Chain A
Amino acid sequence: MSLAFFIQYLVAGITYGTIYAVVGMGFNIIYNTTGIINFAQGEFVMLGGMVAVSLHHHLPLPAAIAGAVLVTMAVGALIELIFIHWLSKPTVLRMIIVTIGISILIREAALLVWGHDVRVLPYFTGNEISAISLGGALISPQVIWVVAVCAVMVLLTTAFFQWTMLGRQMRACASNRVGAAVCGLPIRNLVTLSFALSAGMGALAGCVVCPITYTQYGMGTGLAIKGFTVAILGGLGNSLGAVAAGLLLGVVESFTVSALPAAYKDTISIAILLGVLFVRPSGLFGSRAATRA
């Protein structure tokens, strides 16, 4: 493999990897505040892309993207309010099944609204054929957009949880729900907020990646599995671990495609997921003892 090819595959891997990282972080945000793994996480990415494409018919691109993020955040909050808010002590099995049902409903609704066709947003700068040369490899400017936007998103989210009052309240809710409630924190509202935040992150990722990967109604399930793999690899609840794991998975996947038929691409990442679950469920970067809970 020549250096140019190597860089090309590496960059492709990093592009997908950042998206996986963002989906993985979305899993973590909801998991941290509720203990629920939201199987509809991938649908937020799809929804973001789809809504942005539709809004772009009437609005300039930045406004369309902002609108898509807001709409998806509203959908995320509504899902929490309608399906999860009022359940007093749901079992894990029950919540898993509910979020699976939600993901199917969102997907089918998207199928009714947007149909089977793939949708695409225009490139943010340049077009399909504009490229930046890097060590012999050709890189689309959109790739830089994807990586930059996702990096900023990760940094802002980390800063939000670290330094703002609201972020700290959500962390308190995550670390000890009863304790947080005793201190007077509005637990229920924080949970709704976590769904909105997680949906918004997914939507923004869905918008920036749309010009490269296109958006189709059924893309959510695959992304959810990848995102979950990343969340587990990085240690469930550990956001920076998810970022590292996301990049790792993206790059590994990208290089396996260079060696194996593309149809097996998903198989590789799932095999990684199963391997990690069997051998080290606490994740590569998990510090706690293996809790198989």
Chain B
Amino acid sequence: MRPALLRQVAIFVAVFVALELLAVAGEKSFLLTQVTMSAYYTLVVLGLSLLMGYAGQISLGQAGFFALGGYTSAVLTTWDLAAQRSVGWVAGAARVGLLTSRTDAFGAQVLTVHPWPALACALLLTMTVAFVVGIPVLKLKGHYLAMATLGLGTIVYSIAVGTARLGAADGISGVPPFPLLPGIGVGGSMGGRIVNYYVACGILAAVMLLLLNLVHSRVGRALRAIHGAEDAASAMGVDTAHFKVRTFVLGAALAGLAGVLLTHFNGAIGPSEASIMKSVKYLAIVAVGGMGSLWGTLAASMVLNFLSLRGYFGTLDDAVFGAILIAVMLFAPQGILAIDLRRALRILRPARGAPAEPR
């Protein structure tokens, strides 16, 4: 591992452990629930940051991929197959361990798909949709791509709201926790708040490491070249379409993963997760963090998601994200970490060498 990366990871671990200790010491450990949720939302945002900052492509459909993952897992893990126990494929699936028997919230014994194969299905579905849609969509640029991904997100939303099997406006509840190790997992009943917090941080750290390695690899350089000048990159032998589709699929997979994990954590998912406003929020957070700055995006996402989830913005939540979006794009299109404070302050002082005012 490169020394710089090691230092960054050390800071990451220190910050998250400090947060936990502070919250527990201050008897405010209930705040960790929102930090945990923010960590999962951050996975979506990191994927989008990679797509926008490195591949230079906009997506207004990330919430759609999030919902695709979350809903797939929710449907599979709450679909009671107990009545079909004797049917051939159900019995076969149960024998190879794809199904699990558990007691639901009402005390009934149910037979459902195990969360692990459900996760695999969710990721497979999300990535397949992203791949199939990505090939034609990513040939588009600018407005076309924005509208096409916006349309994709809208389709997922209207299907979620309009389909009775997906719980329509109520969504799906009663989703079981996601077991990782005995006693450790994702979900309210899995070892409580602090275990969940560290699980989420661990997953976030793993994804972050993966992405940092990716952007510092040949792939990352190719993506930056595409962002800088697509035609030039193409002329230099970079297979631009290939890299763009791969990044799009990776971003979708991260959104799908986040959807699965957060659905198990909350025990439920609703259509609001698929709404356009969610996609726009992710976009706003990437803008604040600076497109192409993974650490900046991570910081911006943790802070903004936490504030939003704790309800600090009240009924103005959407408006705050809209305003952030405009302000950042107008005044700091490279993200707020890129603002040169000294230069900004210099505007307030008269320029050096300016003619002295007449007395």
Contacts and interface: CB of A to CB of B under 8 A. Distances in A.
B326 interface: yes
A91 B143 CA distance: 11
A263 interface: yes
Could you say which of A100, A109, A273, A274 has the most chain B C-beta atoms within 10 Å of its C-beta? A100
A264 B162 contact: yes
Given A92-B142, A97-B283, A101-B325, A278 B154 contact: no
A254 interface: no
Interface string A1-16: 0000000000000000
Interface residues of B, number: 43
Interface string A258-293: 000101101100110110011001000000000011
Nearest to B143: A37
A83 interface: yes
Nearest to A105: B322
Given A94-B333, A100-B280, A101-B329, A277 B322 contact: no
A96 B321 CA distance: 15
Q: Is the interface of B mostly helix, strand, loop or mixed?
A: helix
The interface residues of chain A, by DSSP majority, are classed as helix
A193 B231 CA distance: 35
A18 interface: no
A75 interface: no
B155 interface: yes
B245 to A, nearest CB: 14
A266 B140 CA distance: 22
A75 to B, nearest CB: 15
Interface string B187-215: 00000000000000000000000000000
B142 A102 contact: no
A293 B162 contact: no
A62 to B, nearest CB: 33
Nearest to A38: B143
Contacts of B284: 101
A63 B326 CA distance: 34
B110 interface: no
Interface of B: 52, 56, 58, 60, 133, 136-137, 139-144, 146-148, 150-152, 154-155, 158-159, 161-162, 276-277, 280, 283-284, 287, 316, 318-319, 321-326, 329-330, 333
Given A91-B333, A278-B137, 10 more contacts: A37-B143, A37-B146, A83-B326, A96-B142, A101-B322, A267-B154, A274-B137, A277-B136, A277-B140, A292-B139
